[in-house]
């Protein structure tokens, strides 16, 4: 028996992946969907997002990405488009290769599939600080959002709070400067956590001018209460206790580009996948959306917009390939 060829395969079940699936089935295109294995989900940003305060209509959700995404899949499964969605629950993709016009997909359960177009939405993850030999001590605080990661999403949390930034790069310095200029918090400190600050002269001068202090000693302990709901501050290895009500981690991102790499897609210097406005990469038939895509704001609403662009571009190609030829 000949193996089925799916017109579209969406990989990744976060903001970009779910919008890709929704737009694809609403376009009446059949969609093979891999939301990720439990391991993929655990290391995704989608899992770590709690309250989404910077988008209308999201405040009611306890888990700002997971809950609306689950509702969307439930709606599809009860809609007239339900036959268009082939959901591979709790399954990720481990290998992608292209032969001729077709993508060969190997999933995390060892099954093989074929598709004409791939919409890749595997996202990124924030680098966590290793405190006292483990990254786990920060998790309770991240869940309670007393430790934050995304400036656009949660920068407003610093209002009225003594704030620390963990990081030693220019990104960390400019996070501190931007938050100070915007919200004038009662205290702003950069903890480089054992690394030498990599700030240029102009940035260092501005930091000094604003009274932002920089400590280079490694952090040996994070101090707080109530399972991370209250952050008290950080104990440094030189014995200093830095009082802080809120912290931002600014240590960079891990980009989940492995599948794009397997296909040989062009990446930028930081590992993001290069693509045009519609999300088309350097590999014909391979599209990307969401945080994985180069030169984009890393936000839910931008992930949605990119997903719609990509799903529509794929639909246009599918329609035009089926159009009757002029006589």
Ligand X SMILES: Cc1cc2nc3c(=O)[nH]c(=O)nc-3n(C[C@H](O)[C@H](O)[C@H](O)COP(=O)(O)OP(=O)(O)OC[C@H]3O[C@@H](n4cnc5c(N)ncnc54)[C@H](O)[C@@H]3O)c2cc1C
Q: Which is nearer to ligand X, 60 or 326 (CB)?
A: 60
The residues, ordered by sequence, that sit 6+ positions from 123 with a Cβ below 8 Å of its Cβ are: 12, 14, 16, 44, 45, 46, 256, 290, 291, 292
Q: Which is nearer to ligand X, 197 or 228 (CB)?
A: 228
Least gap, CB of 289 to ligand X (angstroms):
7
Q: Which is nearer to ligand X, 109 or 319 (CB)?
A: 109
Token output for 269:
């210097």
Token output for 149:
């990661």
Least gap, CB of 230 to ligand X (angstroms):
18
> Distance (Å, rounded) from C-alpha 307 to C-alpha 92?
19
Q: Alpha helix (H) ranges present in 155-256?
A: 170-183, 201-209
Minimal CA–CA distance to 120: which of 276, 202, 8? 8
Residue whose token pair is 């202090």: 213
Buried b (16+ CB within 10 A) or exposed e, 238-247: eeeebebbbb
**CB-based closest residue to ligand X:** 14
200 half-sphere exposure, CB direction, 13 A CA radius: 4
Largest CA distance in the chain: 83
Least gap, CB of 296 to ligand X (angstroms):
9
> Distance (Å, rounded) from C-alpha 128 to C-alpha 142?
10
- Interface ranges with ligand X (CB under 6 A): 11-17, 34-36, 40-41, 44-46, 48-49, 52, 54-55, 64-65, 92-93, 121-123, 126, 149-150, 153, 256, 290-292, 298-301, 303
Least gap, CB of 288 to ligand X (angstroms):
9
Least gap, CB of 190 to ligand X (angstroms):
20
> Distance (Å, rounded) from C-alpha 216 to C-alpha 129?
14
Least gap, CB of 89 to ligand X (angstroms):
12
Q: Which is nearer to ligand X, 224 or 290 (CB)?
A: 290
Q: Which is nearer to ligand X, 36 or 185 (CB)?
A: 36
Cβ count within 10 A of residue 284? 10
Least gap, CB of 326 to ligand X (angstroms):
40
Q: Which is nearer to ligand X, 32 or 131 (CB)?
A: 32
> Distance (Å, rounded) from C-alpha 46 to C-alpha 153?
13
Q: Which is nearer to ligand X, 167 or 290 (CB)?
A: 290
Least gap, CB of 261 to ligand X (angstroms):
12
Q: Which is nearer to ligand X, 207 or 307 (CB)?
A: 307
> Distance (Å, rounded) from C-alpha 237 to C-alpha 231?
18
CA angle 86, 90, 96 (to 5 degrees): 70
């Amino acid at each position: 028996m000949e193996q089925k060829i799916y017109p579209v395969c969406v990989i990744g079940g976060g903001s970009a992946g779910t919008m890709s699936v929704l737009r694809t089935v609403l376009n009446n295109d059949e969609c093979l969907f891999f939301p990720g294995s439990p391991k993929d989900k655990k290391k995704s940003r989608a899992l770590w997002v709690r309250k989404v305060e910077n988008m209308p209509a999201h405040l009611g959700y306890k888990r700002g990405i997971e809950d609306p995404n689950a509702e969307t899949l439930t709606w599809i499964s009860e809609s007239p488009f339900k036959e268009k969605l082939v959901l591979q629950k709790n399954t990720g993709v481990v290998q992608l290769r292209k032969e001729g016009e077709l993508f060969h997909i190997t999933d995390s359960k060892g099954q093989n599939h074929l598709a004409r177009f791939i919409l890749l939405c595997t996202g990124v993850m924030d680098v966590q600080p290793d405190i006292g030999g483990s990254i786990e001590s920060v998790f309770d605080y991240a869940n309670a959002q007393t430790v934050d990661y995304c400036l656009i999403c949660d920068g407003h949390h610093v209002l009225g709070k003594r704030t620390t930034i963990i990081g030693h790069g220019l990104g960390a310095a400019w996070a501190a400067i931007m938050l100070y200029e915007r919200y004038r918090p009662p205290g702003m400190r950069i903890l480089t956590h054992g690394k030498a600050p990599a700030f240029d002269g102009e940035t260092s001068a501005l930091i000094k001018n604003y009274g932002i202090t920089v400590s280079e000693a490694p952090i040996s302990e994070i101090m707080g209460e109530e399972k991370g709901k209250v952050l008290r501050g950080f104990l440094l290895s030189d014995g200093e206790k830095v009082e802080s009500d809120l912290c931002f981690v600014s240590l960079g991102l891990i980009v989940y580009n492995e599948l794009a790499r397997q296909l040989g897609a062009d990446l930028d210097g930081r590992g993001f996948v290069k693509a045009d406005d519609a999300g088309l990469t350097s590999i014909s038939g391979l599209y990307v959306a969401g945080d994985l895509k180069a030169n984009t704001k890393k936000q839910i609403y931008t992930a949605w917009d990119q997903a719609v662009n990509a799903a529509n571009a794929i639909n246009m190609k599918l329609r035009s390939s089926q159009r009757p030829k002029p006589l």
